[in-house]
Amino acid sequence: MPHIGRMSDSMPEAVIKVEGLVKRFGEIEAVAGLDFTVVRGETVALLGGNGAGKTTTISMLLGLLTPTAGTVEVLGHDMRRDRYAALPRMNFSSPYVDLPHRLSVFENLLVYALLYGVRKARRRVRELGEDLALGPLLKRRFGTLSAGQRTRVALAKALLNEPEVLLLDEPTASLDPDTGDWVRGYLERYQRRTSATILLASHNMGEVERLCSHVLMMRAGRIVDRGAPAELIGRYGRRTLEEVFLDIARRPDDAMPPLGDAAE
């Protein structure tokens, strides 16, 4: 299986292992045979256009969707048979997952903190509120927040249990450039402190270049290329990862470079 992550003298710990992963919805094959590994402490990007299969893949990593074929292991646990052993050590953030509108931000976060078994849950919610500059919002109903404010609350929810594995779907969507930059810095500090493993789906290529050591490029449910951002930029003769993304999105299938060569 192709390895994603830095290599060292001793093999690093594989935190996420995906083999032969397939998901079909009727006649539609949303994910068509993925193989990848993410090691502890790495941030890896899962990139692709709308409909490429990113969100479906993340849902299978969380155990929310059952694969049609293949296996997913997270923290040594098969997510089909033993996901409840891994879930307390994981979390995710997505701007597309809504929270109850009538509850306040504090109430929403407290419910999730209790579900995750967080000790001193109220204190933890207040700490995160301070860390993520949510203090003025804690008493407001979630339904009154702007899209950017909801994105920050979603990130706070994802960090309540200090997860070892963090799955992020568009973590800075709807944020202004200053707030988005601050959130990216926060994630970098969190990872340095905890050695968390992060899988990131994003359409912000500057964000990916800053945060991610490796990239998985998806199209039509398949990984069509992979490598470090700088490697992909050099391979395609482009200046930025965004130009690489556009190149891959617009190339016909028979014009793609051999994946075996790209994965080495």
Domain ranges of the chain: 14-98+164-263
Instruction: Tell me if residue 5 falls in helix, strand or coil.
Output: coil
**CA nearest neighbour of 164 among 74, 61, 81, 78:** 74
- What's the CATH number of domain 14-98+164-263, 2.60.120.10, 3.40.47.10, 1.10.1740.10, 3.40.50.300? 3.40.50.300
**In whole angstroms, what is the distance from residue 117 CA to residue 120 CA?**
9
Q: pLDDT at position 256, please?
A: 65
Q: Are strands 77-78 and 69-74 parallel, antiparallel or unpaired?
A: antiparallel
Q: Give the SS3 label for residue 77.
A: strand
Name 9's Cβ contacts closer than 8 Å, sequence gap at least 6: none
pLDDT on residue 4: 47
Cα dist from 82 to 61, 63, 71, 76, 100, whole Å: 12, 9, 12, 10, 29
Position 52 scores a pLDDT of: 93
Question: Using CA atoms, how far apart are residues 215 and 5, in angstroms rounded to an integer?
Answer: 10
Q: What pLDDT score does 264 carry?
A: 38
Give the pLDDT means over successive 10-residue stretches in the chain (264 positions).
Answer: 47 91 96 96 95 93 94 95 94 90 98 95 95 93 94 95 96 91 94 96 94 96 95 95 93 64 42
